[in-house]
Structure formats: C-alpha cells, structure tokens
A and B are shown apart, each in its own frame.
Chain A
Amino acid sequence: MKLDELAARCGEWLRGSGPQSDIVISSRIRLARNLADFPFIRKCTERDRAAIEGTLRERVLHLKDMTDVSYVDVADLETVDRQFLVERQLISREHAEAFGARGVAIDGQEKFSLMINEEDHLRIQVMHSGLALEQAWQQIDRIDDLIEEHVTYAFHEQKGYLTACPTNVGTGMRVSVMLHLPALVMTRQIDKVFRSLQKISLAVRGLYGEGSQAMGDFYQISNQITLGRSEKELRDQVAEVVPSLIEYERKAREFLINESQKDLHDRVSRAYGILCTAQTISSEETMHLLSSVRMGVNLGLISDLEIPTINKLFIHTQPAHLQKLRGTELDTADRNIERARYLQRHLRRGDDGAEKN
C-alpha cells in the first residue's frame, strides 16, 4: 500500500457523512484476540513474535471476499509513516512506539484495520462514519469469524476471550463513538457530563484514544467493562447515551446563539480569520480554531465553507500528514509555516481544494 496515496484522502472516520454527522463523527469497535499457543506479548521471545506475525499476516491477507486488503510492516516503517498511521487512527500509538515484529492490515476504504502484535496478538478494529455501531459490529463479527476459522484463540469457558490486560477480558470489545462537543466545552459543562458518564462506567477519551487529551473538542465515549455483558449489551450501553449527549450539545449551541450570538459569531469569525491569514501556526492552535469554525459552519454563521473541507483540514494539518503531503520531512518551525500555507490555500479558495496535493 502506498501511504502517500492515503495521505491525500480523508479516510473513513472524518468522511463527515451519516446521521447527526455535525456532532457524531464516527463509530468504532475493536476486539482483542490472542492465539492460544503463544504467550502474551510481554513474555514473547523475538521468535514468538515473528511466528505470531507470520501466522496472523497469512490469515488477514486471505480473508474470504476481502480482496482490497494491504499489509503494512510497521516495524519497517520510518517514524513519520508510523505517526501518519496513528493520525489516521489505523494503528494505536502503543503499536507505533513498540518494538519487534508487528504489522497492520488495512482495507482500501480504511474501514477496518487489523493490528498484529499490539498489546494483544491481534486487535481488530472497524470504523464507520457517523453513528453506525450495528453496521460496525456486523462487519467486525464476520472478520473475527473468518480469522477464527484457521487459528485457535485463547478462550476460557468462564472468562471468555483471554487478553494480556485483565481490563479487556471477556468480550475483548471496546465500543466507541467519537463526538464533536465544542459548545459543551465553551459553556463549561463538559466535566459534568463526563462525571456522569463515569458513574455508569463509560470512559471518555480524547481524539487519539488512551492518553490523548481532547484535541479540537473531539471526545470518544466508550465502554469500560468488557466482562459479564454481551457484545450487544455493551453496544447498547454506549449507543444509549449518544442521543442525550447530542441533545446537550444542541442545547448548549442554542444557548450560545440565544444569549450571545454576537460573541459567538465574533469568536467563530476570528477563528476563521486567523486560520485564513496566519503565517505560522501550531497543530494545537489549528485544531482549536478549526473546532470553532466547524461549529460556525454547522450553525450557519459561516456560509462559504463546507464541512468535508474542514474535516479534511483536521487530518491534513496533523504533523505527519503535512510532511507526507509536502513529500519531505520538516521540523516543528517549518511545519508551522507549511501548515499556515496549507490552510491559506484551502480556506481562501473556499472549496474542497481539488488541486493536486
């Protein structure tokens, strides 16, 4: 797979379609699986790791009816390419930073990725735009079955699928929905919302999962528990809170419009102005401002921009993406300049930037 070709595209999770896609960004499910005849990663010798990688690579590249699958040898990649895959959410940061034989299989539409030798031997991940947990489950369930036809998973009658960390044992499943919640952040209600989610054992994470802070007001809501509830119950639990969160966010947006439309309009317009004219800009500031602009477009305060353009900018202005698109490695200072130029080119035109990247 040519990573450079991926770079120019937007990927599935920020495609920006599907129901309620102004607030719900994407739905994701991952399953943790281990081979029964090898120790967990921590106790693997180099030889074990290579054998696991060999077995699973063979499996994931020959899944029935799935022809458009590419395999990337992560151990062989340059740092910038590994970071690129993290930015696209195709591998985890832990997977990028690990050592030894490991890889990832990715389908052409970037709807699923199969990480080999992450924290567990196999992490299957399926991602769909918008709120689509059922479709995601059907796809991942099938992939899981296809792989299992030829390998023996570590499974215990009582404990379910056995995982390297007891926090994943049982279903090995993490269901998450990514939401864009700028108005809840602006009205300082977000912490309250999170505390109530934690009480019903749902976890809240930032854009890049475990260990990432909320960048650009993107938040992932996911199940904390994996044992003692069925996959459907776990999906339902996450899916059930999403409508309320959407409603809270909408109410907060209404409140901002009603109480202080001038201030809000000013804030959104300034954000847009900075993004259009800055000469050097960091990734954090870009995410922060794009978040305001995104909400501004959704509320009709900015009329000459489309959501897909903004979604694309969120991902294309990330450090590794910028470098891939530019075709050269850049240090932080040069990246900030390149980022500002990139934003100018794509925002001043007010279209999707159909030019060659």
Chain B
Amino acid sequence: MKCQNCEKPATFHITELTGPELVELHLCADHAQQYLAPAEEAEEATPTLAGVLAQHLNLGQTAEDLARLDQRSCPVCGVTFYEFRQAGRLGCPHDYVCFEEEMEPLIVNIHGATEHKGKRPKRGVKDSSLQTELIKLRREMTDAVQNEEYERASELRDSIREIEQRGQ
C-alpha cells in the first residue's frame, strides 16, 4: 500500500477517532511524523523499512555518495537503487547479489543477521544463473520489440526458448 500523500510505502496506519467520523490514514514514515508531530511525540515504533532505510542512508553517506549509489542499476532487471529506495521493493532476485554491499547494513538492521538458517529447496538448484539469464533476455526482448528491432527480438526469443527447454 502506498502512502496517501506520496509514492513511498505506507508504514503508518492511523485510525482517527476524535472527529465526528472515523478517518483512516495510511502514511509513510515522513508524513506520519508530520501528522503526529503537533499532538504527541511519535511513539518509537518497530523498525520499518522506510525508517531503517532513511537511517542507514543518512549515516555516514554524503549527498554525492548517495547520488552515485542511486544511479546504480541492476543489469538483469534494470531497477535502480533509487527506485528501490523509493518503493521499498526490489526488482528481481539478482538485486540481492548486485546491491549486496549496499543492502548489507540494511539487512543487518532489519534482521540482526546476514545468514539464512532453516529450510532449503529440496531440489537444491546450486546455480540459478540460467534463470537469471532468462529474466534479462525477456527484458531485452521486450525492449527490442518496443524499439521495433524485430530481428534482434526474434534472436532473443530463440535463446529464451532454448534455455526454457533445457530447464525442463
């Protein structure tokens, strides 16, 4: 759910009981703080993604660092770090690899850990690079079609089919 005042995810959900009617508000951390500020000091909530992100990115990073970081994009799905920061959602599984360094402090902040413990897929696919390749090829094919590069699109389609069939 998005904040009703901006594009960020709504992490605060407020039901106002004081007026003549019940009013429901869905706000991001920033707008919620604005909304709540004059009344009482905002309760220290559990770390929300937006809050943690803001905290992590404000600490020890200059504006230039941040601008440079924002420009970086995932070679597979094309999502930029800026986009992730805005939406709080990643673009594809490969983002965990390509933004690993940037995301590490964030993940530590949320989970207090960096290593998965627990269930693993039974079939244990060790190498998912083919799957990642598929995401990239499909995106390139869509772009090629949009740019009316039909020859390129058809080559890409053949590569996609080949990988899909190998996987079955």
Binding site for B on A (CB under 8 A): 34-43, 45, 47-48, 93-94, 97, 119, 141, 144-145, 148-149, 152-162, 164-167, 169-171, 173, 198, 201, 203, 210-213, 224-233, 284
Contact indicator B10/A211 (Cβ below 8 Å): yes
Residue B60 CB within 8 A of the other chain: no
Chain B residue nearest to A230 (CB atoms) is B118
Which of B61-69, B85-93, B151-159 is found at the contact surface with chain A? Answer: B85-93
Q: Contact between B134 and A37 (Cβ–Cβ < 8 Å)?
A: yes
Set of chain B residues within 8 Å of A158, measured between Cβ atoms: 114-116
Q: Answer whether residue B125 sits at the interface, using C-beta atoms and an 8 A cutoff.
A: yes
Complexed CA–CA distance, A129 and B54 (Å): 39
Contact yes or no, B111 A226, CB < 8 A: yes
- Chain A, Cβ-Cβ closest to B124: A155
Q: CB-CB contacts of B107-131 with A at 8 A, as 1s and 0s?
A: 1001111111111111101001011
Is there contact, CB below 8 Å, between B128 and A171? no
A225-B112 contact, Cβ under 8 Å, with A42-B87, A156-B93: yes
**B25 to A: closest C-beta gap in Å:** 10
Evaluate contact between B122 and A159: CB separation under 8 angstroms.
Answer: no
Please classify how large the interface on chain B is, using the bins under 10, 10 to 19, 20 to 34, 35 or more: 35 or more
Once A154-B128, A158-B115, A227-B116 are accepted as A-B contacts, the answer to whether A39 and B110 lie under 8 Å apart by CB is no
Which of A43, A47, A145, A157 has its CB near the most chain B CB atoms (within 10 A)? A43
Please give the distance in Å from B102's CB to the nearest CB on chain A: 11
How distant is A63 from chain B, measured CB to nearest CB, in Å?
Answer: 15
Q: Chain A residues near B22: list those with CB within 8 A.
A: 284
Q: How far is the CA of A160 from the CA of B110 in the complex (A)?
A: 15
Q: Could you tell me if A155 and B125 are in contact, using CB atoms closer than 8 angstroms?
A: yes
B87 touches A228 (CB 8 A): no
Number of A-B contacts (CB under 8 A): 163
| B147 contacts the other chain (CB 8 A) | no
* Listed A/B pairs (21) with beta-carbon separation below 8 Å: A34-B93, A37-B134, A37-B135, A38-B92, A40-B89, A43-B91, A47-B142, A94-B1, A141-B119, A148-B121, A152-B167, A156-B116, A164-B89, A166-B106, A169-B96, A170-B113, A171-B116, A213-B14, A225-B113, A227-B110, A227-B111
A43 contacts B92, CB within 8 Å?
yes
Q: For residue B4, give the distance in angstroms from its CB to the closest CB of chain A.
A: 11
Distance, CA A93 to CA B111, complexed state (A)? 25
Contact A159 B125 (CB under 8 A): no
Q: Which 7 A-B pairs have the closest CB atoms?
A: A228-B113, A160-B116, A36-B131, A154-B93, A227-B111, A230-B118, A43-B91
- Residues in B neighbouring A141, C-beta threshold 8 A: 119
Do B91 and A159 have beta carbons less than 8 Å apart?
A: no
Q: Is the CB of B138 within 8 A of A48?
A: yes
A41 CB contacts on chain B under 8 angstroms: 89
In the complex, which residue of chain B has the Cβ closest to the Cβ of A191? Answer: B43
The docked-state distance in angstroms from the alpha carbon of A269 to that of B89 is 49
- CB contact under 8 A between A213 and B1, given known A36-B128, A40-B93, A43-B91: no
Complex-state Cα separation, A224 to B125, whole angstroms: 28
Interface contact A170-B13, CB-CB below 8 Å:
no
- Considering the complex, which residues of chain B in the window 91-108 have a beta carbon less than 8 Å from any beta carbon of chain A? 91-93, 96-97, 103, 106-107
B28 located at the interface, meaning its Cβ lies under 8 Å from any Cβ of chain A in the complex:
no
B31 at the interface (CB under 8 A from A): no
CB distance from A141 to the nearest CB of B (A): 7
Q: How far is the CA of A215 from the CA of B113 in the complex (A)?
A: 34
User: In angstroms, how far is the closest chain B Cβ from the Cβ of A38?
Assistant: 6
Q: How far is the CB of A219 from chain B (nearest CB, A)?
A: 14
Known: A119-B89, A141-B119. 6 other contacts (CB 8 A): A42-B90, A45-B138, A47-B142, A97-B1, A167-B110, A173-B118
Given known A-B contacts A224-B46, A284-B22, A171 and B118 have beta carbons under 8 A apart: yes
Contacts of B134 in A (CB 8 A): 37-38
Q: How many angstroms between the C-alpha atoms of A119 and B88 in the bound complex?
A: 11
- Give the docked Cα–Cα distance between A213 and B26 (Å): 11
| Residue of chain A at shortest CB distance from B130 | A37
B49 contacts chain A at the CB level, 8 A cutoff? yes
Tell me which of B13, B111, B130 contacts A228 (CB under 8 A). Answer: B111
Shortest beta-carbon distance from A216 to chain B in Å: 13
Q: Which of chain A's residues have a CB closer than 8 A to the CB of B14?
A: 213
